[in-house]
Structures are given as C-alpha cells and as structure tokens.
Amino acid sequence: MTSPIEIAFLTISTFFCTMLTVMAGAGGGVLLLALMLLLVPPSIAIPAHGFVQLAANVTRSWLFRRQLSWPVIWRFGVLLPAGSAVGLMVFQGLPEELIKMLIGMFVLLTLVSGYLPTLRERTMPIAMFIPIGFVTGVLNMIVGVIGPVLAALAVRSGLKKEAVVGTLGVFGVFGNLVKIVGFSFAGFHFSKFWPLFVLMIPAAIAGMQVGRRLLWRFSEQAFKNLLQVVLVVMALKLILYDGLAALLGG
C-alpha cells in the first residue's frame, strides 16, 4: 500500500466517499472499505480503514457533544472490548476469501436494514445496547464497518436526530479505538502506513466540507440511488469473485 499510485487512488477515494456520505446520508465508509479491498487484503484494509474513520468520528462527536445520549453510550461500551477480543481471535482464524465474502454480505445487509419495517417502527429498550455493543465488537474486527446497521438500531431507541448522529459518532470512536489497539497487539504496524494516513485524513475532512456545500445543489435521492448501486456491485464482487470463486478455485 506504499506505492504512489495506490496512495493517490485511496486518497481520492477517501475524498469522494466522504463527500458521498454527506450528500447521501450514509454508506461512504462502507464504500471506502470495499475500494481499499481492491488493493490490499482485509488484514490491512480493516485496521487502516478504522484509523482513518477515527478522525471523522471524533469530529462528529465533538460537533454534537451537547446532544450525546450517555445512558446509551455507556451501555454500548461496557462489553465492546470483550466483543472485540473475540472478534480478533475469529478474524485471525478465517481465510482471506471468507472474510471478503462476509464483508460483502454485510454490505448487502446494510442496504436492506433501513427498509425493514421492524427496524423503523418498533422502539427498542435501552438495555439492548449492552449485547449490541458486544456483537458490534465482534463484527467490527471481522467486517470492519457496521455503522448503517447501528444507525437503524439507534433510531429505534427513541433519540432525536441530533442525538442519534452524535451518539453514533461516539460509537464509532469507541469501535475505532478498540480496533486500533486490538490490531496493534496482533502485530499490525500503523506507523508503516503514515504517508497514507497523512493524505487520507485531510482528504476525508475536505470531502466533508465539499459535500456540505454541494448538498443543496443536487438531488439527495439521486446520490442515494447511485451509492446503493455501487455498493451492490462491490458487494457482489466481494462475495462471488473475491470470495466464492477464489475458494472454489483454490
């Protein structure tokens, strides 16, 4: 991931994925991970993606710091580290092809989660965020991005829109920090990729600003539709080509 062409590709991808996230509401982080998997294996893409996303989630948490729901946050965080430890052990025992298939299937799950009536309409008890935090920790280490599903669950908690946005940012901060610590103990050296991080993090911030400026000039629904089509294509590639075909071919 150190070649200039790869760094340029991922930097540009970060800019546009962040811009799409602002304009379409969600999905850019999922798309960025899928694009990173075009160049590097999950053992590099997932921790590197978490490092870049940490900056975005810290920014979002700070902007909505007055609307944070701490009763939800501490319940979510109490078992998150334990789940992450389990997830890291599972991750290290899975073949790369199977991990890509799981990521692809989870991308498809994120696309349908917002359309399920039970996720949109039913109110969820706040105590449910304790097991949700544990499961999030497990999945966060294996598939890397579960933000859209968490968003669907957070909406069911009865929080206002601003509280949902800020609280999800803290969820992301917790998940990214635990991911960074876990993969560091597993032997991943983040310092080897500092040129990439130095460019991707400012690109994410710039993409956020451009997306906010363009938000009122383009159709939000059109961008959502475009993003969903791209995500479906990327997910099917991960499942059928990178995963299933590679396993059968091997």
Query: Could you please report the per-residue DSSP string of the chain?
Result: --SHHHHHHHHHHHHHHHHHHHHHSS-HHHHHHHHHTTTS-HHHHHHHHHHHHHHHHHHHHHHTGGG--HHHHHHHHHSHHHHHHHHHHHHHHS-HHHHHHHHHHHHHHHHHHTT-HHHHHS---GGGHHHHHHHHHHHHHHTS--HHHHHHHHHTTT--HHHHHHHHHHHHHHHHHHHHHHHHHTT--GGGGHHHHHHHHHHHHHHHHHHHHHTTTS-HHHHHHHHHHHHHHHHHIIIIIIIIIHHHH-
Q: Are 21 and 224 in contact (CB under 8 A)?
A: no
Q: pLDDT tens, 93-137?
A: 888 888 888 888 887 877 776 555 544 555 677 888 899 899 888
Q: pLDDT tens, 168-212?
A: 888 888 988 998 998 888 888 888 888 888 888 888 878 777 776
User: What's the pTM?
Assistant: 0.77
Q: pLDDT tens, 40-66?
A: 888 888 888 888 888 777 877 887 788
8-17, 23-32, 111-120: least confident range: 111-120
Residue type, 114: G
- Across 4-18, 52-66, 67-81, which has the greatest mean pLDDT? 67-81
- pLDDT averaged over the chain? 78
